[in-house]
Structure 1
């Protein structure tokens, strides 16, 4: 969608403002087609113009992503169904008494402006220049917030992840046989069999390969075994292939190692080239956290917004701090101690070493884009407005507990996706939907 979903009230901001001209609040005359009702959702209409505007946004998003464009009639049906689902969900929000006041919409609008390094007035002028009606823009924001709030109440708050869920997730991922999601780092010893070798010579070479396998299983240094015994080109590198997708490795190697854990040894295996002995150095399945992760040590200054400090004022203050620090007139740590409204203030804004997933997505995305020593522009999150500086980065091996904590987050995301899909289907099934004239995009 547009880069106008802000992390205000839980909406995520996705970068620079990029509102397509084709999604402006076009009138029926501008579109060249009189508007009409294409569906009713519990007696509430969905109009052809709604479908057209959403379709244009979706098409632009697909084009920006560079993915294949579906047939237009297929896309029209998908867009209509998406609108119908959303309409049923917002109706349920009304039934539950969930509302979005003007202050929440204004906060979301300000968040978008700040995230795109614009003032609220500049944002409105930009929208006007793109032909986008501000009232329609704010209504879209209101619906986004409303959908998020009803989903949080009906789905997010009910999802719990137990230790049994974590164990099930790990077993599922380890048992996943999808080669497209499996990566292996194998070490390899090849005992080559010359063309035309006699049976006696083949037996001798097989015994040599078996000796290598036995020594490897007994704990011998595999890299040394490769350098001493392998006839393969990678012998100089200790026999290492490096991490590769399983579908880029010989089927013989994958079939022999896919059920082994790291450290497992397979072979000798016979191929036309000779006898192979393999050791699994590293194994990674998509969906599982890496045992080694990049950790970042960062500092921040947080200003919380509210009646005493608007978001725009917080952004302006932090932009001033940034300029003072960059020019050498002020020190980041000192400003954090004096002004930051966060528990890290007493440590000069130091957040300690943090791995992936420890911060909210919008904060982590901005932090990861910085090199050590760099500062961010003022960043809006659900907690307020931040100024971030990255101090250091390092590679760290996760403890078993840390890996389980990361898996807990992955398992929760999976349960949320499943629960949201079930709730969406249930909400739709309980709505009365009447299709009228087909959309004419």
Structure 2
């Protein structure tokens, strides 16, 4: 076994060199010999590197998976890991996947074609294309449609296995939630909370007399009132602030509360993100403080940003293609932006969902209430702005954001947020333990590369 592991390591080193060179758009020098048993060309050949129970894992599978992950990291402009360290992890992941898929099939789990069709459609919607275009892109990326659908089938099968063997066993009791909420105040006092504050500083000279101080305080209060009315804080910083951080819109940076002045921490601790504190007086002057970001590791947020939007929905059918729906909504947007038509009127006349009677009004919505593609587009809009036509699983939408607000979760909503967070944590722990057990019960043999 020692010899086998050693030769397999040599194969991984050769494969790593080939992958690294390809990712950099280079070709390896012809005279560069990494190992006598595994050249870069051989690293792309198809031979068995491992057997899980009776099912093989080929060198090409490892190479293809490593190449996909490596290129994904490059596209995301993230520093790719050392490929020599990445490849053994890729192989171990493939071993775990094979073992789990075998367990699923051996215990009677199956995936229907309709479920694969639905998954394929969902991916197409997320990428704002139809299924035909998605398949063209998949083919251009070097994967056949059959391979792509097989991968979707495997993913669905593994998800169903996890739901049956792991998720069904995880329970969060009311006592678990009570204990978490009791421990929360102690967790917040540990100093691990991080905040990012933006400030408007009205400087008070050391030699200022009482009249000058009062005048400066009035100026600070005017800035505070306008900030609390929702005016753009960066604009107020440029207008009022005497600080030197104007280029950063007054933001002081995300840091631990222990690295902020105690005056600032006391003023902002009770606040949610987006709130503006009472006026703070320090030796430097008067401070208007806004909470830009607040991170409490391991704790769910107890306040959310809600959005009030309206939309027009057109559902493509035999008489209205997706392209025609997009064109029609683009014309509606032009009419709204140029004040030729009211959005609500167009929605009542054209929208094909239950909100039409309300002028497309969707009411106040918390995060997670809409499908991801709709919510992501809505979140990028400024109040009053109209989106471009957007495809979702329901049809083609035109969205107008009306306003946003901060909302504190009700007691019941807070408990549900805690329940979801604790469940996710327990699920991850249970999954890791379960996956290790499945892996331990599988027969795994690492194969020597061909000479």
TM tier relative to shorter chain? 0.5 to 0.7
The Cα shift of 1:388 comes to: 2.2
Count how many residue pairs are aligned between Structure 1 and Structure 2.
Answer: 366
User: SS of the counterpart of 1:74?
Assistant: helix
1:67 corresponds to 2:78? yes
- Match of residue 379 from structure 1: 392
Contact kept, 8 Å, 2:50 with 2:446, in 1: the verdict is yes
Q: What is the rounded CA distance, in whole Å, between the counterparts of 1:39 and 1:318 in structure 2?
A: 47
1:299 corresponds to 2:315? no
Q: What is the rounded CA distance, in whole Å, between the counterparts of 2:303 and 2:252 in structure 1?
A: 16
- Match of residue 402 from structure 2: 393
RMSD: 5.1
2:91 aligns with one of 80, 95, 99: 80
Q: What is the rounded CA distance, in whole Å, between the counterparts of 1:401 and 1:255 in structure 2?
A: 29
Taking structure 1 as the reference length, the TM-score comes to 0.63
The runs of 5 or more residues in structure 2 that have no matched partner are 1-21, 24-39, 225-236, 272-276, 336-344
Counterparts in 2 of 1:268 and 1:398: CA distance versus 1, 3 Å: closer
1:334 corresponds to 2:349? yes
Superimposed CA distance per residue, residues 210-265 of structure 1 (whole angstroms, 9 cap, x where no aligned partner) = xx9xxxxxxx99956999xxxxx999659998553354999472698379734899
1:422 corresponds to 2:430? yes
Superimposed CA distance per residue, residues 315-344 of structure 1 (whole angstroms, 9 cap, x where no aligned partner) = 9645434434444699443343xx43xx54
Q: What is the rounded CA distance, in whole Å, between the counterparts of 1:290 and 1:234 in structure 2?
A: 32
The Cα shift of 1:49 comes to: 1.7
Contact kept, 8 Å, 2:348 with 2:359, in 1: the verdict is yes
Contact kept, 8 Å, 1:110 with 1:120, in 2: the verdict is yes
The Cα shift of 1:41 comes to: 3.3
The Cα shift of 1:60 comes to: 0.5
1:244 corresponds to 2:246? no
Alignment of 1:359-378 (within 5 A): 359-369=370-380, 372-378=385-391
- Match of residue 151 from structure 2: 140
Contact kept, 8 Å, 2:198 with 2:251, in 1: the verdict is yes
1:257 aligns with one of 257, 265, 280: 265
The Cα shift of 1:48 comes to: 1.9
- Match of residue 97 from structure 1: 108
Contact kept, 8 Å, 1:265 with 1:277, in 2: the verdict is no
- Match of residue 294 from structure 2: 285
Q: What is the rounded CA distance, in whole Å, between the counterparts of 2:162 and 2:278 in structure 1?
A: 48
Counterparts in 2 of 1:283 and 1:174: CA distance versus 1, 3 Å: farther
Taking structure 2 as the reference length, the TM-score comes to 0.62
The runs of 5 or more residues in structure 1 that have no matched partner are 1-20, 23-28, 195-207, 213-219, 228-232, 304-311
Q: What is the rounded CA distance, in whole Å, between the counterparts of 1:369 and 1:234 in structure 2?
A: 24
Q: What is the rounded CA distance, in whole Å, between the counterparts of 2:278 and 2:357 in structure 1?
A: 52
- Match of residue 320 from structure 1: 324
Further displaced range: 240-249 or 391-400: 240-249
Q: What is the rounded CA distance, in whole Å, between the counterparts of 1:177 and 1:439 in structure 2?
A: 53
Contact kept, 8 Å, 1:187 with 1:240, in 2: the verdict is no
Q: What is the rounded CA distance, in whole Å, between the counterparts of 2:287 and 2:427 in structure 1?
A: 42
Contact kept, 8 Å, 1:93 with 1:146, in 2: the verdict is yes
Counterparts in 2 of 1:169 and 1:188: CA distance versus 1, 3 Å: farther
Contact kept, 8 Å, 1:300 with 1:350, in 2: the verdict is no
Q: What is the rounded CA distance, in whole Å, between the counterparts of 2:149 and 2:76 in structure 1?
A: 26
Alignment of 1:197-216 (within 5 A): none
Counterparts in 2 of 1:302 and 1:267: CA distance versus 1, 3 Å: closer
Q: What is the rounded CA distance, in whole Å, between the counterparts of 2:134 and 2:359 in structure 1?
A: 33
Q: What is the rounded CA distance, in whole Å, between the counterparts of 1:40 and 1:132 in structure 2?
A: 23
User: SS of the counterpart of 1:387?
Assistant: strand
Contact kept, 8 Å, 2:308 with 2:404, in 1: the verdict is no
Further displaced range: 428-437 or 150-159: 150-159
Contact kept, 8 Å, 1:284 with 1:290, in 2: the verdict is no
- Match of residue 15 from structure 1: none
Superimposed CA distance per residue, residues 373-405 of structure 1 (whole angstroms, 9 cap, x where no aligned partner) = 33433212xxxx232222233231313428x73
1:128 aligns with one of 125, 139, 145: 139
2:117 aligns with one of 101, 106, 109: 106
Superimposed CA distance per residue, residues 29-65 of structure 1 (whole angstroms, 9 cap, x where no aligned partner) = 9976443333333443322221111100110111012
Contact kept, 8 Å, 1:300 with 1:351, in 2: the verdict is no
